Amino acid sequence: MSRQVNVSRTTKETSITLTLDLEAFHAPQIDTSVPLLSHFLTAFAFHGRFGMVLKAEGDIEVDPHHLVEDVGLVIGQAFHEVLGDRQNITRFGQRYLPMDEALVLCALDLSGRGQCYWAPGFPDRSINGINAEVWPEFFHGFARQSGTTLHLRYVSGDNAHHVYEATFKAFGRALAEAVTPLDTAGISSTKGVL
Ligand SMILES: [Mn+2]
CATH number at residue 141: 3.30.230.40
How confident is the model at residue 190, as a pLDDT?
A: 83
Question: CA 159, CA 142: separation in Å to the nearest integer?
Answer: 24
Is 32 domain-assigned? Answer: yes
**Weakly modelled stretches of the chain, pLDDT under 70:** 1
Query: Residue 19 Cα, ligand 1 centroid: separation in angstroms?
Result: 24
* Residue 18 covered by a domain: yes
Q: Strand 92-99 vs strand 115-118: parallel, antiparallel, or unpaired?
A: unpaired
**Cα-to-centroid distance, 159 and ligand 1 (Å):** 11
Q: Give domain status of residue 10, yes or no.
A: yes
**How many angstroms separate the alpha carbon of residue 39 from the centre of ligand 1?**
7
CA distance 99 to 58: 30
Ligand 1 centroid from CA 165, angstroms: 6
**Integer CA distances (angstroms), 150 to 7, 34, 71, 94, 119, in order:** 22, 24, 17, 10, 11
Q: Which of 34, 12, 8, 32 is nearest to 20 (CA)?
A: 8
DSSP string over 125-189: --BTTB-TTHHHHHHHHHHHHHT-EEEEEEEE-S-HHHHHHHHHHHHHHHHHHHHSBPSS-SBSS
> Residue 141: inside a domain, yes or no?
yes
**Distance (Å, whole) CA 148 – CA 155:** 22
Read off the pLDDT of residues 146-183 as tens digits, 9 standing for 90 and up.
Answer: 999 999 999 999 999 999 999 999 999 999 999 999 98
CA of 161 to the centre of ligand 1 (A): 6
- Residue 138 forms part of a structural domain: yes
Give the pLDDT confidence score for residue 187 in this predicted structure.
78
CA of 113 to the centre of ligand 1 (A): 31
CA of 112 to the centre of ligand 1 (A): 31
Please indicate, yes or no, if residue 78 is contained in any of the structural domains.
yes
As for how many domains the chain has, the answer is 1
Question: Which strands make up the sheet holding 149-156, listed edge to edge?
Answer: 92-99, 102-109, 149-156, 115-118
Instruction: Judge whether 33 lies within some domain.
Output: yes
CA of 163 to the centre of ligand 1 (A): 10
From ligand 1's centre to the CA of 41, what distance in Å?
11
**Structural domain harbouring 13:** 4-179
Residue-level pLDDT at 18: 98
Instruction: Give the phi and the psi of residue 95 in degrees, each rounded to 5.
Output: -160, 125
Share of the chain above pLDDT 70, in %: 99
**What residues does the ion ligand 1 have nearby, CB within 5 Å?**
165
Say what the pLDDT of residue 2 is: 84
Q: Is residue 190 part of a domain?
A: no
